[in-house]
Amino acid sequence: MSAEYILNITKPMLEGAQMTILLFLVAIVLAIPLGFVITLLAKSSIKAVAWLAHAYVYVMRGTPLLLQLLFICFGLPLLPIVGEYLVFDRFVAACIGFVLNYAAYFAEIFRGGLLAIDKGQYEAAQVLGFSKWQTTTKIILPQMFRVALPAVSNESITLVKDTALLYAVAVPELLHYAQTAVNRDFTIVPFFIAGVIYLVMTLLLTLFFKWLEKRFKFE
């Protein structure tokens, strides 16, 4: 097993990792705000809106992400009449699936963060004359994000690993190239390399969130 061989198979895997990272970034950047909107909708005083938000979270968390991805990639185009307009590029379809799915998880995380905030915070804000909007943006949200940070960190690491599901909808990514090399060369090495690349990505992410947690410790 030469160093040259390792280099040769690592190169396409790193290219594949770019897809992984791109999907990760799209998913995290869109799913966090969307999740937050869902949290707010679930708290809405309009019953139907709150119910819809809860139903959404229930469905997205209650079915496999893989099913959702297959549904968007291969299911939607089969729908009568509208189907032909719902044919997406498979990477785009995967992004939609990841964002919709992860938004539901983030919504639950933020809901937990809101529950952790003492009602005394709302009372103090009220007697000081803050409006509802000011209370939410200046007092509640910063605390909610702080409380939610460890859970967001955890969810983000899960997201890195879930990107491997791209494999199932045939978008070439990190794992796809590893698998190809394993089949072609009949060696286990590519799997180890893939593992190391995932570990590096999750390590960087872990360090980033550790830094965030420290930065917003409020002590």
Partner 1 sequence: MAIIQVSQLKKSFGTLDVLKSVSFEVNRNDVVAVIGPSGSGKSTMLRSLIHLEQVNGGTIRLLDQDLVREGVYASPQQIKQITAKMGMVFQHFNLFPHLTVRENLELAPRTVKGEADEIVRRKSAELLEKVGLSDKADNYPARLSGGQKQRVAIARALMMDPEILLFDEPTSALDPELTGEVLQVIKQLAKESMTMMVVTHEMGFAREVAGKVMFMDNGEFIESGTPDEMFGNPQFERTRAFLQKSLK
Question: Which residues contribute to the site for partner 1 (CB under 8 A)?
Answer: 118, 120-121, 123-124, 126-131, 134, 138-139, 142-143, 146, 216, 218-219
Instruction: Report the nearest approach of partner 1 to the CB of residue 127 (Å).
Output: 4
Which of 171, 162, 198 lies closest to 65, judged by CA? 162
Instruction: Report the nearest approach of partner 1 to the CB of residue 122 (Å).
Output: 9
**Which phi-psi region, left, alpha or beta, contains residue 17 (left: φ > 0; alpha: ψ -120 to 50)?**
alpha
Amino acid (1-letter code) at residue 12:
P
**Which phi-psi region, left, alpha or beta, contains residue 68 (left: φ > 0; alpha: ψ -120 to 50)?**
alpha
Nearer to partner 1, 62 or 129 (CB): 129
Instruction: Report the nearest approach of partner 1 to the CB of residue 41 (Å).
Output: 24
Nearer to partner 1, 26 or 139 (CB): 139
Instruction: Report the nearest approach of partner 1 to the CB of residue 134 (Å).
Output: 5
Q: What is the 3-state secondary structure (H, E, C) of 65-132?
A: HHHHHHHHHHHHHHCCCHHHHHCCCHHHHHHHHHHHHHHHHHHHHHHHHHHCCCHHHHHHHHHCCCCH
Which of 43, 22, 167, 205 lies closest to 110, judged by CA? 43
Residue found under tokens 């000011």:
134
First to last CA, the chain: 52
Nearer to partner 1, 135 or 202 (CB): 135
Nearer to partner 1, 84 or 219 (CB): 219
Instruction: Report the nearest approach of partner 1 to the CB of residue 110 (Å).
Output: 16
Nearer to partner 1, 149 or 164 (CB): 149
Nearer to partner 1, 79 or 128 (CB): 128
CA 19 to CA 31: how far, in whole Å? Answer: 17
